[in-house]
Amino acid sequence: MDRLQIDGGARLDGTVRISGAKNSALPILAATLLADGPVTIANLPHLHDITTMIELLGCLGVEVVIDEKLAVEVHPETLRDVVAPYDLVKTMRASFLVLGPLLARHGRAEVSLPGGCAIGPRPVDLHLKGLAAMGADIEVEGGYVKARSAGRLQGANIFMDVVTVTGTEHLMMAAALADGVTVIENAAREPEVVDLAECLTAMGAVISGAGTDTITIEGVERLESASHRVMPDRVETATYLLAGAATRGRVRVVETQPDLLDAVLVKLRDAGAAIATGDDWVELDMEGRRARAVSLRTAPYPGFPTDVQAQFLALNAVADGISRVTETIFENRFMHVQEINRMGARVVLEGNSVAIIEGVDRLTAAPVMATDLRASFSLVIAALAAEGQTIIDRIYHMDRGYECIEEKLAGLGARVRRLP
């Protein structure tokens, strides 16, 4: 099991290229199942989760070809099965998103519940309610969702009880081939939802309102071949900017979209960073200064993203002052706190949703263990800002969401290497 060794204390300084967004690429790959011809997807990040989704497509009989520009060409017309097995779906919740496209395109699907998820309060229940409202006959049996439709799915008015990004994406895909108009209310507004809508539109879907809380989909008879380029990863962008801020350095991120980062950039400016932006780049410069502590509260887009909360907490751990971080999206999103406190941070939790951070001037290296994807990189940021050599164990979590970690960090001057 791989580990990451980081010798801290060096200011990051340099330029890093941002990869395609994993949270956009995964539903887009699932959406290719709706087409009746090849779909080319460019700017896919080279990540384990992307490989898993491609393996799942292959398991369904879909031919996937990598072209000379490293784009992926998906041939959904070769599909020969509509069963997505537990062995693949259990490793990544986004795999469940093939259910709607298979059902809409082929009239039936059998997809394992993700990770042994219990139906009930979990968001997957909203997916199934929405599909049922569109006329699907759904049974849960032996850990699999078995869905059928008598002919095409039917347009419906769907109100999402809870704002869910994957739920919005899932129902939007299914509705693209439904008979009639589907309206999704209380829809997620995230840029990744907009990116999926743009891909579906390129395939011939008729969608309006993506990026607002009401999305309207006019079902069409068929979706066709298309090409689409995945948007830049806004979470990766924010992560490297925060690493630069924690080390009192200067980081320029390129091939990104600054307009998607307003909530994060406001907080970084509050922390004392000098921020400059262009059409596809952002530069942060701390000018050697220690950051100021900044309180924040996560919220659905366009609020502060929950996927950047752990990384900002790591910055606050070495900032001047006391801050309060409130998590409103997910429970148990502070599992990294125990590990970062091992490095000398002063973080106290109030229940599951609030962390109080008293910044220290320097952290001290210690062996730590990654607990989940975003929390993993918060430990990297802490290690970069710490004195001494830190070993981070179980970094397979990080490999699920960050491409070429060592190479990108080394390009910024970090002293980092992977250990077996």
Catalytic amino acids?
117
The residues near 60 (Cβ < 8 Å, ≥ 6 apart) are: 33, 79, 80, 81, 82, 83, 84, 98, 102
Q: What are phi and psi of 199, to 5 degrees?
A: -65, -45
Q: Quick one: the chain helix, strand, coil %, rounded to 5?
A: 35, 30, 35
DSSP-based three-state secondary structure for 54: helix
Is the backbone peptide bond immediately before 191 cis, with ω within 30 degrees of 0? no
> How does DSSP assign 297-340, residue by residue?
EB-STTSB-GGGHHHHHHHHHTSBSEEEEE--S-TT--THHHHH
The C-alpha atoms of residue 68 and residue 297 are separated, in whole angstroms, by 44
What is each CA distance from 226 to 28, 44, 173, 242, 401, in whole angstroms?
A: 12, 15, 15, 36, 26
Residue 234 neighbours by CB distance under 10 Å: 26
What is each CA distance from 409 to 9, 14, 30, 43, 249, in whole angstroms?
A: 13, 9, 31, 20, 13
State both tokens at 91: 């490793």
The C-alpha atoms of residue 299 and residue 382 are separated, in whole angstroms, by 24
